[in-house]
Structure 1
Amino acid sequence: MMNFITKAISNTLSKTILKAASKAITLAGLFSLALLSGCSQEKVEAIAAPEPVIIQNGEECDLCGMYINRFPGPKGQVFERGGVTAKRFCSTRDMFAYALQPEHQHRIEHIFVHDVATAPWDEQEKAQYIDAKTAFFVSGHDLKGAMGPALASFSTQADADQFIELHGGEVLKFSDIDIDTLSMMSHQEMHH
């Protein structure tokens, strides 16, 4: 009789343990799926870039406070993580001055600049925006933007080279531009 009771208890315990293990595995699987779907959702959101906004008359530069559309040359926009609207800038130089600050660098998700080849220099509000990280920039040219020199931005190397033939300068990639680049632009302006 004792053997029968031991087998019954052992059998019941085995079934209970199997049921608990099965539930745990099912819950772990569901939790893993939830995590994976959450991860894939985050990836989709991170990949989908916001659309650049049209800068309206009367809007001020988020760095210097000047009216953006009152000045010639390409403008810039920065979208930060968790931000609802773009930071807008009266020049590519001001945009980089903002974006290169350590307190801003880690928050930036997307940066847009005008493609200078798509509109006249003094009508850049009509130009198309492009991703600044893939753009070609011309520094040291003879055209002025808001408050002096500006980095002329282009979607192709060929357009940047053609601009250089007319206005001088040198081509830089996004990763080439740092605070020293901006300082040299300001320094060159003082000696012209």
Structure 2
Amino acid sequence: MGCESDHRLISRRRAVHALGAGIAMGLTGCLGSSTEAAPKPIALSGQKPDYYGGMVIGDHGGPNGQVFYADAQPEPRQGPGEDTEETAHLAWFHTLAHGLFPYHFDMVDDGAEATAVYVTDYSRIDWEIPENTERKKMPAPTAPDTFADATDLTYAVETDVMGGMGPDLIPFSETDEAVRFTETHGGQTIEYDDIDRVLVERIQMSRME
């Protein structure tokens, strides 16, 4: 995260998972049932603006996300998106509770079908949280291999650690790591199927408290 060396850090070191076999996809819920191979996550570097709120990805900390849609061509809320073949059916976000999920719920309500939903997997990276800052915040990696199938992850919620817009969903592919995270930072763990509008709105409102 580029913190000064004199900061005391809460650290959890883990080697990045090997991805030689690629990312296994077991899409459920609102995801499509197509037998075609799911698209792979892309890099979210390069100052890409969030589709929901327009803020630059990677600059504000916290988990990022990206959603591929089967036929729909998503548009950023703040204007036209990139017009490339690779990203024609893709939307990206710098926060989950304040970006990806509200946008995705609206898209599904409008009839869109997702072929893949990827979010930051903190079990894949080394991460550090500055202990002596006013608000603890997770890092915001943007490389493709830091993303994992959102439907396979366990999420820490209602913790004292922030995402890019305040309280957020903090994803882990290793359930025991998510549990340990809540033991240290409060909150509880949930699964992908537990995420709905009511939960997301509760997370959003908690930033106002």
Same fold (TM over 0.5): yes
What is the match of residue 41 of structure 2? 52
Larger Rg: 1
Q: Secondary structure at the match of 1:60?
A: coil
Going from structure 1 to structure 2, the CA distance change for 1:123 and 1:183 (only over 3 Å counts) comes to closer
- Indicate which of 122, 134, 150 corresponds to 2:139: 122
Going from structure 1 to structure 2, the CA distance change for 1:90 and 1:136 (only over 3 Å counts) comes to same
- With normalisation by structure 1, the TM-score equals 0.70
Give the root-mean-square deviation of aligned CA atoms: 1.9
Distance 2:178 2:192 in 1: 13
Distance 1:153 1:81 in 2: 24
Query: What's the CA shift for 1:75?
Result: 0.5
Query: What's the CA shift for 1:162?
Result: 1.5
Query: What's the CA shift for 1:64?
Result: 0.6
Preserved CA contact (<8 Å) 2:45 2:58: yes
More helix by share: 1
More strand by share: 2
Does residue 164 (structure 1) correspond to residue 164 (structure 2)? The answer is no
Going from structure 1 to structure 2, the CA distance change for 1:69 and 1:123 (only over 3 Å counts) comes to closer
Alignment of 1:11-160 (within 5 A): 44-45=35-36, 48-82=37-71, 84-85=86-87, 86-93=90-97, 94-101=99-106, 102-103=108-109, 106-119=112-125, 120=127, 121-125=138-142, 128-160=146-178
- With normalisation by structure 2, the TM-score equals 0.65
Query: What's the CA shift for 1:80?
Result: 0.2
What is the match of residue 176 of structure 1? 194
Letter in 1 for 2:93: F
Going from structure 1 to structure 2, the CA distance change for 1:54 and 1:104 (only over 3 Å counts) comes to farther
Q: Secondary structure at the match of 2:171?
A: strand
Query: What's the CA shift for 1:105?
Result: 6.0
Distance 2:168 2:44 in 1: 18
Query: What's the CA shift for 1:57?
Result: 2.8
Distance 2:94 2:34 in 1: 32
Going from structure 1 to structure 2, the CA distance change for 1:103 and 1:123 (only over 3 Å counts) comes to closer
How many pairs does the alignment contain?
148
Query: What's the CA shift for 1:133?
Result: 0.9
Going from structure 1 to structure 2, the CA distance change for 1:43 and 1:78 (only over 3 Å counts) comes to closer
Query: What's the CA shift for 1:161?
Result: 0.7
**Percent same amino acid at aligned positions?**
27
After superposition, the C-alpha distances for 1:33-90 in whole angstroms (9 at most, x for unaligned) are xxxxxxxxx9541xx1111001113100011111011011110100000354221101
After superposition, the C-alpha distances for 1:95-129 in whole angstroms (9 at most, x for unaligned) are 11111224356421110011112332224335621
